[in-house]
Amino acid sequence: MTTKPILKFAGLGLLICGTILNILMFVSEAWPTYLFFVMMGVGLLFLLASYFFKNLKNIWQIVIVLIPFITTYILFDISSASNDTFLIPKGFTGQVTIYYDRPNGQQEEYDGKWRIYRVPISGNLETKFKLKGHSINLSSSHYYYVDSNSKRQELNHYCEYCEVKDTVTLQVIYGVLGTDDKGTYQTFFIDRPLNKNRIHNPE
């Protein structure tokens, strides 16, 4: 079987893509990132490998090309925030506090890829879930009022930076992610945005 220059083409592709993306990043004055420089570096390594290992079997070239992509996917998955769904008693208003990694906390519960947090009427929930990726994905989290029949009503997120703001209805207002003597926690509010009496205490 004829050996194909898979490493060479993969290296050229990564080098060209990394260069173009870097140029676009600087032209648009985007937030600096080293990811595209790493992409260029991997491309150069592939090109060097294709030069020194010209007769490397196709299967091994494919394996080498896949390694950085698989590694990147694993690292991204580990460092990314979890997908969260919060179920809140219907009619609840005020501050919600979620404490993570509590030994006697609420059992872990999933709905597919989504973590389920059942917030009690007190608004204070201790969960066995650990905070994933040292961050929370606020904009992608789902918040629902739940009645006695388990019927869900989704709550909107308050958009502080939107040009047109809803300041009248009850919404989810983001709080803080912090740590105290009990561990890591996050807070958020179910409230009307114009309410000035909110506090940002863990409990």
In angstroms, rounded to a whole number, what is the distance separating the alpha carbons of residues 169 and 202?
24
Alpha-carbon Rg for the chain, nearest whole angstrom, is: 24
Domain ranges of the chain: 6-79, 83-191
Average pLDDT value for residue range 147-165: 89
pLDDT per position as a tens digit, 57-94 = 888 888 888 988 888 888 777 778 899 999 999 999 99
Please state the pTM of the whole predicted model. Answer: 0.72
pLDDT per position as a tens digit, 29-54 = 766 677 788 888 999 999 988 888 88
Label residues 21-30 b or e (16+ Cβ within 10 Å = b): bbeeeeeeee
Angle at 183 between CA 177 and CA 186, to 5 degrees: 25
Residue 98, token pair as written in the block: 């979620």
